[in-house]
Amino acid sequence: MNNVFVIGVGLIGGSFALDIKKQNSECTIFGIDNNENHLDEAIQLGIIDEKANLESLSKADLVIIAIPVDAALEVLPKVLHKISDEAIVFDVGSTKEDICLKVKPHPKRRNFLAAHPIAGTEHSGPRAALQGLYKNKTNIICEVEETAFKLQEKALKLFSDLGMRIRYMNPKAHDKHIAYVSHLSHISSFMLGKTVIEKEKNERDIFDMAGSGFESTVRLAKSSPAMWTPIFEQNKTNVIETLEEYINNLKHFKQLMEEGNFEAVYNEMKTTNHIKEILNGIN
Amino acid sequence: MNNVFVIGVGLIGGSFALDIKKQNSECTIFGIDNNENHLDEAIQLGIIDEKANLESLSKADLVIIAIPVDAALEVLPKVLHKISDEAIVFDVGSTKEDICLKVKPHPKRRNFLAAHPIAGTEHSGPRAALQGLYKNKTNIICEVEETAFKLQEKALKLFSDLGMRIRYMNPKAHDKHIAYVSHLSHISSFMLGKTVIEKEKNERDIFDMAGSGFESTVRLAKSSPAMWTPIFEQNKTNVIETLEEYINNLKHFKQLMEEGNFEAVYNEMKTTNHIKEILNGIN
C-alpha cells in the first residue's frame, strides 16, 4: 500500500490516515476535501502528506471515502471510474443500504467494500482526528461477497492491523439495527438539549446545576448536523420507527407517573438496568 | 467536628465520609444503614469507623442524610429529635420542596440545612464511594435563612474544604430546574435503554454495534431504581412537564422527518449544537 487517498480529512478519515501512516511509514497519504482549510490543517497536523484531487486516483492503492453519506453516494461512482483494477475503495458511512444499492450496477463494484467502523466522538474536522481511534472497535462490513477476494483480504488486513473486530451484516439489517443503537441516541440527545435550552433562558443555571449525568446524556447533541442530516434522510424509515417506539415508551412512562403508579415506574427502571450487563458484554 | 454520622453509606454518603475523614483524621465516622451488608462493606473499605443507630445521635456534631428521598422524609424528623442543639444535619436529596415543607414546623428546623450536591455516578452502594467526588462540584442549598447562622457556617466550611461551589435557591425553583437538567436525562436514558432492549432480542448485536455514543446516552439507565422512583414521585408535576415538552420536541422532529423536511431537521440540530458552549460555561 504505497498510495493511500483519504477523501474527507475529518475525524474519521483523519484518524484512518494517522493509523495507516503509523503502520506503513513509507506510504504517501493524499488528502481530498471540499474544504481547503481542512486540507491545510490536515497537512499542518501531519495527517496527510499531500493535497490531491480525484484526477490523481489512478495511482491509488487504497481509497477511503469518509464524507457525509449523501456526498458519498455521489463521489463513489466517480472514484471507481478513476481507480486501477488493483485498488480497493471503502466507505465508512453510518448507512449502508443506499450506497450498496447505488454501487450494485457499477462495473467496478468488486473494487468497493462497504464498511461502517463504529467509532468516533462528538467532534469533527481534522483536529478531531485521533491516533488509535479504531483500536478494539467494531467494523461492520456489508455485502462482503460482492468485493473481489484479493481486495477484501487487503482491507481486512488493514482493519486487523488497526485492532478492529469485524462483523458481517447485510445492508438492510445494518441500517435497521444501527437506527436503534446509534441514530436514535443522537436524536434523543439533540431533543434533550433542545428541551433544556428552550426552558432555561438563563443559561448560567443550566451549567451550574447540570451534573455529569446531563453532560453525558446530551454529549451527542454537539455532533455535526451536516453529517447527521443525510444519515437520517437515508435511514428515514428505520429512524422514524425507532422514534415512534421511543416516544411510545416515554408516553407510557409519563402515563404511569400521572396515574401515580410508582411501583410500575420502579419496574420500568429495574428491567432496563439490565443494560448494565449488556454493555459489559455479559449475558 | 468529632462525631460525624452518615445515614446511608452508599455512593453519596460514603464519598462524604471519605472526604471528611481525609480533612479531619481525628474525627470518628459512624455509619447508619438499613442494609447490614453495606455497613460491613463500609467498614472494610475504611469508609466508616463504626456502625451506629439513631439512638447514639445525641453525641453527633454532624449528621448527613444520604438515603432515598422518601426515606429521608421519614428519618429527618427523628434525627432532629435525637440530636443536640449544636449539631448540624444536612440531606443530599435530589428534591428539595417536600423535605423543606416537612421540616418547616419542626422545633429543631434551625439545625437542618437542605442541600443537593450535584455529584454522583450511575453506580451505587459503598463500593461506589469515591474520594474527591465533590471537588469542583456545585452544591445547591435551599432556604439557607432557615438554618441557624452558626450551623450554616459549619456546613459551608465543610463544603468549601471539600472544594464545592455553593448556589442558593428556593426549593420550588430547585425542583423545577433540576427536573430539566437531571431528572429528564434519567428518564430519556432509561427509555432509550428500554427501546433498544425490546427491539434487540439478540443482545450480542446491541453490544457489538453500540458505540461510545450509545454508551454515554444510556449510561444513566444503570442508575438505582430505588433511589430514582421516590425522586420522580416527589417531583411528579415538574417531571411530567419536562416529559411533555421532551415528547413534543421528539414528535416534532419525527414529523419533520416524515414530511421529508431535512432542512428543518438540520436546523433543529444546528440550533441545539449551542449546548457545546453552554456546557463549556461560555456564553
Q: Which of A85, A209, A82, A93 is nearest to A154 (CA)?
A: A85
- CA nearest to B228 within chain A: A266
pLDDT beyond 50 at A16: yes
Q: Are A6 and A32 in contact (CB under 8 A)?
A: yes
Q: Are B8 and B66 in contact (CB under 8 A)?
A: yes
Instruction: Give the confidence band of B261 by pLDDT, cuts at 50, 70, 90.
Output: very high
The answer to whether the CB atoms of A192 and B185 lie below 8 A apart is yes
B positions 77-116 inside 8 Å of A (CB): none
**Backbone φ, ψ for residue A282 (5° rounding):** -105, 130
Chain length of chain A: 283
pLDDT at B116: 97
The answer to whether the CB atoms of B250 and A246 lie below 8 A apart is yes
| CA B190/CA B223 separation, integer angstroms | 9
pLDDT at B282: 41
Nearest Cβ partner of A217 from B188, B199, B250?
B188
Q: Please state whether B192 falls in left (phi above 0), alpha (psi between -120 and 50) or beta.
A: alpha
Cell output for B81: 429529635
Kindly provide the b/e burial profile for residues A20-38, where b requires at least 16 CB atoms within 10 angstroms of the residue's own CB. bbeebeebbbbbbbeeeeb
Q: Which residues pair with B114 in a beta bridge?
A: B142
The alpha carbon of residue B176 is apart from the nearest alpha carbon of chain A, in Å, by 10
C-alpha angle A224-A227-A233 in degrees, rounded to nearest 5: 125
- Choose between A144 and A197: higher pLDDT: A144
Cell output for B93: 436529596
- Mapped onto helix, strand or coil, the DSSP state of residue A190 is helix
Q: Are A260 and B242 in contact (CB under 8 A)?
A: no
| CA B110/CA B87 separation, integer angstroms | 10
Q: Please state whether B125 falls in left (phi above 0), alpha (psi between -120 and 50) or beta.
A: left
**Backbone φ, ψ for residue B17 (5° rounding):** -60, -45
Q: pLDDT digit string (tens) for B103-130?
A: 999 999 999 999 999 998 889 999 999 9
Enumerate the residues of chain B whose CB falls inside 8 A of the CB of residue A273: 221-223, 225
**Backbone φ, ψ for residue B138 (5° rounding):** -85, 140
Instruction: Give the confidence band of A204 by pLDDT, cuts at 50, 70, 90.
Output: low
Nearest Cβ partner of A275 from B222, B247, B249?
B222
- CA nearest to A236 within chain B: B257
Q: Are B121 and B11 in contact (CB under 8 A)?
A: yes
Q: Are A257 and B231 in contact (CB under 8 A)?
A: no
Q: pLDDT digit string (tens) for A71-83?
A: 999 999 999 999 9
The answer to whether residue B136 neighbours chain A at the CB level (below 8 Å) is no
Three-state DSSP string of chain B: CCEEEEECCCHHHHHHHHHHHHHCCCCEEEEECCCHHHHHHHHHCCCCCEECCHHHHHHCCEEEECCCHHHHHHHHHHHHHHCCCCCEEEECCCCCHHHHHHHCCCCCHHHEEEEEECCCCCCCCHHHCCCCCCCCCEEEEECHHHCCHHHHHHHHHHHHHCCCEEEEECHHHHHHHHHHHHHHHHHHHHHHHHHHHHHCCCHHHHHHHCCHHHHHHHHHHHCCHHHHHHHHHHCHHHHHHHHHHHHHHHHHHHHHHHCCCHHHHHHHHHHHCCHHHHHCCCC
The answer to whether residue B130 neighbours chain A at the CB level (below 8 Å) is no
Q: Which of A135-149, A199-213, A251-265 has the least mean pLDDT?
A: A199-213
Nearest Cβ partner of B217 from A188, A208, A225?
A188
Nearest Cβ partner of B194 from A118, A229, A268?
A268
Instruction: Give the confidence band of A283 by pLDDT, cuts at 50, 70, 90.
Output: very low
Q: Are B116 and B12 in contact (CB under 8 A)?
A: no
Interface-testing mutation among A269, A270, A273, A277, with chain B (most B C-beta atoms within 10 A): A269
For the question of an ipTM over 0.95, the answer is: no
**Backbone φ, ψ for residue B122 (5° rounding):** -80, 0
The mean pLDDT value of chain A amounts to 94
Residue B219 CA: distances (Å) to CA of A214, B15, B29, B120: 10, 20, 32, 12
The answer to whether residue B172 neighbours chain A at the CB level (below 8 Å) is no
Determine the straight-line distance between the first and last CA of chain B, rounded to whole angstroms: 40
A positions 10-69 inside 8 Å of B (CB): none
Cell output for B203: 443482545
| CA A129/CA A17 separation, integer angstroms | 9
When pLDDT is averaged across residues B31-45 and rounded to a whole number, the result is: 97
The answer to whether residue B202 neighbours chain A at the CB level (below 8 Å) is no
Q: Which of A220, A15, A49, A218 is nearest to A119 (CA)?
A: A15
Q: Quote the CATH superfamily of domain B174-279.
A: 6-phosphogluconate dehydrogenase C-terminal like domain (1.10.3660.10)
Q: Which residues pair with A114 in a beta bridge?
A: A142
Q: Which of B47, B24, B1 is nearest to B151 (CA)?
A: B1
The answer to whether residue A128 neighbours chain B at the CB level (below 8 Å) is no
| CA B42/CA A76 separation, integer angstroms | 60
pLDDT beyond 70 at A20: yes
Cell output for A32: 481530498
The alpha carbon of residue B127 is apart from the nearest alpha carbon of chain A, in Å, by 16
Contacts 24+ apart (CB under 8 A), B107-110: B107/B80, B108/B80, B108/B81, B108/B83, B109/B80, B109/B146, B110/B146, B110/B147, B110/B148, B110/B151
The answer to whether the CB atoms of A198 and B245 lie below 8 A apart is yes
* CATH architecture assigned to A3-170: 3-Layer(aba) Sandwich (3.40)
Output the CA torsion A193→A195→A197→A198 (10° steps).
Answer: 160
pLDDT at B203: 63
| CA A172/CA A49 separation, integer angstroms | 37
When pLDDT is averaged across residues A87-107 and rounded to a whole number, the result is: 98
The answer to whether the CB atoms of A253 and B191 lie below 8 A apart is yes
A positions 239-258 inside 8 Å of B (CB): 239-240, 242-247, 249-251, 253-254, 257-258
- Mapped onto helix, strand or coil, the DSSP state of residue A165 is strand
Instruction: Give the confidence band of B283 by pLDDT, cuts at 50, 70, 90.
Output: very low
Domain ranges for chain B: 3-170, 174-279
Instruction: Give the confidence band of A282 by pLDDT, cuts at 50, 70, 90.
Output: very low
Nearest Cβ partner of B196 from A138, A181, A208?
A181
Residue A126 CA: distances (Å) to CA of A44, A130, A131, A222, B251: 10, 9, 12, 16, 34
Query: In the Cβ-directed half-sphere of B237, how many Cα atoms lie within 13 Å?
Result: 6
Q: Which of A141-145, A198-202, B39-43, B95-99 has the least mean pLDDT?
A: A198-202
Q: Are A249 and B191 in contact (CB under 8 A)?
A: yes
